[in-house]
A = this chain, B = another copy of it.
Amino acid sequence: MDLSNAMFDTIKRDLEQLEDELLAAVDSPVDIVQEIGEHLVSAGGKRIRPALCLLAAHGGPDFELKRLLPLAASLELIHTASLVHDDVIDEAGTRRGVPTANAKWGNQISILSGDYIFAQAFRLVSAKDYGNYIYHRLAELVGDLSTGEIIQNRQVYMASRDVEDYYNRIQKKTADFLEICCELGGVVSGMPKEKTKRLAEYGHCIGMAFQITDDILDIEQTEEKIGKPAGNDIRQGIVTLPVIRALNESPDREELERIVTDSDMTDEMLERAISIVKASDGVDFAKARADEYLQRAREALPEDLPEDIREAFLMVADFIAERDF
C-alpha cells in the first residue's frame, strides 16, 4: 500500500476544497502579488499540516468543513511563508523541484511575499469567530518557528554535542507545528479538552519523529531521491541527531568535529564526515529515537476516535517510519 496516498484518503474531498481556499486566500488585485501567491501555494507539498487539522476535527462532535477550512488553510499558509523566508536565508534555488520565490523574483520580493503570506494566514482566521485561544496559538507558533530558526542559525559550525539542544530546536521547528495542527482541529470542532490534549501529544510525537527522519535522510540518501545534496545540513554547519551521536561516540569524533566546525568545508571533507557518521551507530540511534516517538504517538491517540480517523492517524505514523524520501 502506498501510505503517502492512502493516509489522507478519508479527507480527500476536504483537501480538494482546501486547494480552492488556499488560492482564494492569496487572491490580490495587484498582479505581481497574485502571481507570487499562486506560485507559492501551487508549488505543492503534502498538505500534511492542514490534513492533520482536518483529521483531528473529524473526531470532534461539531465538525463542519466550511468552518474548518480557513483554519486549515491558515496553517498551510504559515508553513508556506516560513519556507519562503527559509529559502531566502538558505539561498535555495529549488524546492520540490520548482524554482523558489527568491530564485524567481529575488530576495527583496521574497521577504515581502513571506510577510504577505503570513498576513493572509492571520486574515483568514480573523474571518471566523474561532476565539482568542486559536489566535494566540497561531501567533505563538510563528514566534516559535522564528525563534527555532534563530537558535539554529546562531549555532552553525559550533558542533554542539548536546542532545537536549537538538530536541529543543526540532520541537520549535517542527513538532510544535504538528502539535498545534492536531490540537486546534479538535478545539474548533468542539472536542473535550482531555481529548485535544492527547491529539496534541500525538502531533508533538509525530513531529519529533518526522524531523529526526528528515535528518537521517540527509545523511543516508542520495541527491536524486531527496532533491537536495546529501549532507546538506552538515555543509550548512547544522549538526543533527546522527551527527551528534557520532560526535559523542565515534572513534573518529575529533576528525568529525574538525570538519563540521569548518565553514570552508570542501566536498571531500563533507564526504568524509558522512562516512564517519555512517560508520558510527548514529543513524541506528536516531532511528530508534524516531521509533520511540512514533510508538508514543500511537499510544497517545484517543481510543474513541471514529475508526477511519484513527486508522488515518496510525497510517501517518507508519508513513513517517517507512518513508525514504
Q: Which of A39-71 contact B (CB under 8 A)?
A: none
Instruction: State A142–B82 Cα separation when bound (angstroms).
Output: 15
Determine the distance from Cα of A139 to Cα of B127 in the docked complex, in whole angstroms. 10
A241-265: which residues lie under 8 A (CB-CB) from chain B?
none
Q: Is A153 an interface residue (CB 8 A)?
A: yes
Contact B119–A150 (Cβ < 8 Å): no
- Known contacts A109-B153, A115-B85, A115-B118; is-contact A135 B146 (Cβ 8 Å): no
**B142 and A135 contacting across the interface, CB-CB below 8 Å:** no
| CB-defined contacts of A13 to chain B, threshold 8 Å | none
What residues of B have a CB within 8 angstroms of the CB of A32 in the complex? 150-151, 154
**Residue from B107, B120, B153, B154 within 8 A of A143 (CB atoms):** B120
Within 8 Å by CB of A146, from B119, B122, B125, B129, lies B119
A81 (CB) vs chain B CBs: closest residue: B115
Give chain B residues whose Cβ lies under 8 Å from the Cβ of A115.
82, 85, 114, 118, 142, 145-146
- A166 contacts the other chain (Cβ, under 8 Å)? no
What is the chain B residue whose CB lies nearest that of A131?
B129
Q: Provide the bound-state CA to CA distance between A153 and B107, in Å.
A: 11
Q: Are A111 and B85 in contact (CB under 8 A)?
A: yes
If A85-B111, A136-B127 touch, does A33 touch B142 (CB 8 Å cutoff)? no
- Residues of chain B within 8 A (CB-CB) of A222 are none
A30 within 8 Å of B by Cβ? yes
In the complex the two chains form, what is the Cα distance from A243 to B82 in whole Å? 37
The reply to whether A146 and B85 contact each other, CB–CB distance below 8 Å, is no
A23 to chain B, nearest CB (A): 16
A163 within 8 A of B: no
Please determine whether B119 and A143 come into contact, CB atoms closer than 8 angstroms: yes
| Cα A140 to Cα B132 with chains together (Å) | 18
A5 lies within 8 A of chain B by Cβ: no
User: What is the bound-complex CA distance between A126 and B113, given in angstroms?
Assistant: 24
List residues of chain B with CB within 8 A of the CB of A141: 119
Given the known interface contacts A30-B151, A123-B139, the answer about A89 and B111 at a Cβ–Cβ threshold of 8 Å is yes
Report if A24 contacts B (CB, 8 A): no
Q: A28-B147, A109-B150 are in contact. List 7 more A-B contacts (CB 8 A).
A: A30-B150, A32-B154, A85-B112, A112-B146, A115-B118, A115-B145, A123-B139
Q: Which 3 A-B pairs have the closest CB atoms?
A: A119-B142, A119-B143, A123-B139
